[in-house]
C-alpha cells in the first residue's frame, strides 16, 4: 500500500500545478542516468513530507516494514533511472514485476502522451492495474526532458533551483497537455 499510494502521489505531482512546478525539475534533465534519480528539488521533498507521514500513520506501517520498503524503493529508483540496456524480452518479463529503465524512460519522454504513463516507482503492477502501462515506444525515438527546454544552459544548477519559483511557459504547457483518463 505504501508503494500504491506513492504511485498516486506521483500522478498528483504531474496534475497539481503547485506540485508539478517542483517535480518538473526532475523531468528537465536532458539525459537519463542513475544521477537523475538524485535530481529532485528540495522543495519537492519538503512538500512530500505531510503526504509521506500520512501514508505511514494511516496505513499503520511498522518501522521494520518501512525500512525494508524504503530500501527496495531506493534501489528501484536507481535502477529504473539508469542507462542499463537490457534485452527487450528480459525487460518485458521484468516489467510485470518491477519498473524497468525502458519503462521509466518513456515516462521521461518530452511527448506528454508518453510521459503521462508509467507512474509506478517500485512495483510495476499499479500501471498494469490502472492501464497506464506502456512499453511500446522504441528507446531511440524518445527525447528525454520537457518539450522546448532542450539546451544545457536551461538545466544548470542556478536555473533548476529557481525554476519552481518562476513562470516557465514550457513547464506549464507540459502540464496542460491532454492526459489519458
Ligand atoms: Zn514524473
Dump pLDDT digits (tens) for 129-146.
999 999 988 888 899 999
Comparing CA positions, the residue from 71, 64, 88 lying closest to residue 139 is 88
Residues 56-65 as b or e (16 or more Cβ within 10 Å = b): eeeeebeeee
Distance 52 CA to ligand 1 centre (A): 17
Comparing CA positions, the residue from 59, 69, 58, 137 lying closest to residue 102 is 137
Distance 104 CA to ligand 1 centre (A): 9
pTM: 0.90
Banded pLDDT at 179 (limits 50, 70, 90):
low
Distance 14 CA to ligand 1 centre (A): 6
Distance 10 CA to ligand 1 centre (A): 6
**Measured distance CA(58)–CA(171) in Å, rounded:** 33
Q: Which long-range contacts (CB under 8 A, 24 or more apart) does 89-95 make?
A: 91/135, 92/135, 95/124, 95/133, 95/135
Beta bridge partners of 98: 123
Distance 117 CA to ligand 1 centre (A): 9
Whether pLDDT at 178 is above 80: no
Comparing CA positions, the residue from 111, 103, 65, 71 lying closest to residue 86 is 103
Residues making up the chain, counted from first to last: 181
Banded pLDDT at 21 (limits 50, 70, 90):
very high
Distance 130 CA to ligand 1 centre (A): 16
pLDDT for 180? 57
Distance 88 CA to ligand 1 centre (A): 23
- Which stretches of the chain are DSSP H helices? 2-15, 17-27, 42-59, 63-81, 88-94, 101-107, 112-115, 125-129, 157-162, 169-176
Distance 9 CA to ligand 1 centre (A): 10
Mind listing the pLDDT tens digit for each residue in 99-126? 999 999 999 999 998 999 999 999 999 9
C-alpha cell at 123: 512495483
Amino acid at each position: 500500500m505504501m508503494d500504491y499510494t506513492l504511485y498516486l502521489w506521483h500522478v498528483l505531482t504531474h496534475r497539481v500545478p503547485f506540485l508539478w512546478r517542483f517535480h518538473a525539475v526532475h523531468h528537465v534533465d536532458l539525459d537519463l542516468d542513475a544521477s537523475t534519480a538524485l535530481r529532485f528539488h528540495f522543495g519537492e521533498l519538503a512538500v512530500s513530507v505531510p503526504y509521506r507521514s500520512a501514508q505511514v500513520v494511516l496505513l499503520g506501517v511498522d518501522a521494520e516494514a518501512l525500512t525494508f520498503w524504503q530500501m527496495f524503493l531506493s534501489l528501484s529508483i536507481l535502477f529504473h533511472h539508469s542507462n542499463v540496456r537490457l534485452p527487450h524480452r528480459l525487460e518485458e518479463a521484468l516489467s510485470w514485476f518491477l519498473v524497468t529503465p525502458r519503462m521509466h524512460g518513456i515516462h521521461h519522454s518530452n511527448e506528454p502522451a508518453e510521459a503521462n504513463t508509467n507512474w509506478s516507482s517500485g512495483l510495476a503492477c499499479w500501471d498494469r492495474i490502472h492501464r497506464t502501462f506502456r512499453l511500446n515506444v522504441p528507446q531511440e525515438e524518445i527525447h528525454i526532458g520537457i518539450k522546448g527546454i532542450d539546451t544545457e544552459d536551461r538545466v544548470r544548477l542556478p536555473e533548476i533551483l529557481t525554476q519552481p519559483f518562476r513562470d516557465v511557459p514550457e513547464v506549464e504547457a507540459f502540464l496542460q497537455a491532454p492526459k489519458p483518463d
